Structure formats: structure tokens, C-alpha cells
Amino acid sequence: MEIAGTDALIMERMTKVISDVLKPGSQPITLDKRFKEDLGADSLDVVSLLMALEEEFHTQISDEEAARFTTVGAAFDYVKVKAAQKAS
């Protein structure tokens, strides 16, 4: 899937956050990647990742929402919606 425009900027920022927190090495960060199984995150890493995403995108992620964050794509969709809500 190609991401363009504002979405591409969001993805760029999100990739940087994921890279900072999980340090996945040569593993590319793509929408289909699962945080735990593919990017090597343990449960504390996931908590750190949520905090970092909150900080980066100035938002608050509830525990309920966080439970759905199993893939990069799920996190991206969430952040995208939040960004659109802020812009409107």
C-alpha cells in the first residue's frame, strides 16, 4: 500500500518512534508488521511504545484502544484518525 501526503508524514514520524523504542535493526517497519512477533517487542516495550506515540502525536491512548495496537497498521490507522479529528 502506498502512503502519500499527510499520511506519509504521519507514517514517517511513527516509523521514527517505533525505531527509537524497539530498535528493530534491519527489519523494515511496514504496516503489516506485528509489534511482538515481528519487531521483537515485549510487554514493557509495548507500554513504552504507547507512551512514545502519545508524546509524539500529543494524544492520549486509552487502555481499551491500546489493546488493539498489535500491528503497525493498527497504530497507524488510530493515529491517522486522531490527526484528522484534531485538524477538523
Partner 1 sequence: MTRRVVITGIGIIAPGAKDTAAFWDNCLAGRAAVSPIPPHWRHYAEFTSTIWAPLPVLDYPALGLSRVELMQLDASSMLALCAAQQALDSARIGRAVKNEKKNTFALEGINPERTAVYCGSGIGGLTSLIAAQANHVVSPLAKAFSLVQQQLALDGTHAPARTVLADAEESIRMPPRFNPFIVSMTMPNAISANVGIKYSLFGPNTTVCCACSAGTVAIGNAFTAVRAGLADCALCGGAEFLGDDFGGIFRGFDIAHTLVNPGNDPDCANRPFDKRRSGFLFAEGGAAILVVEELSHARNRGAPIVAEITAFAESFDGHNIMMMDPSAVHIRRMLGTLLKNAGLDLSDIDYVNSHGTGTTANDEIEARVILDCFGKKPLVNSTKSLIGHTIGAGGAIEAAVTALSIKNKTTHACKNLDEPIADLNFVRHVETFPIKKAVSQSFAFGGHNAGLVLEEYE
The binding site for partner 1 (CB under 8 A) comprises 17, 20-23, 25, 40, 45, 47-48, 51-52, 54-55, 60
Q: Rounded to whole angstroms, what are the CA distances from 40 to 21, 23, 52, 57, 62?
A: 11, 9, 17, 23, 23
Q: Which C-beta is closer to partner 1: that of 3 or that of 45?
A: 45
Q: Residue 5 CB, nearest distance to partner 1 (Å)? A: 26
Give catalytic residues, as residue numbers: 42
CB of 57 to partner 1, least distance (A): 11
Give the C-alpha separation, 8 to 43, whole Å: 28
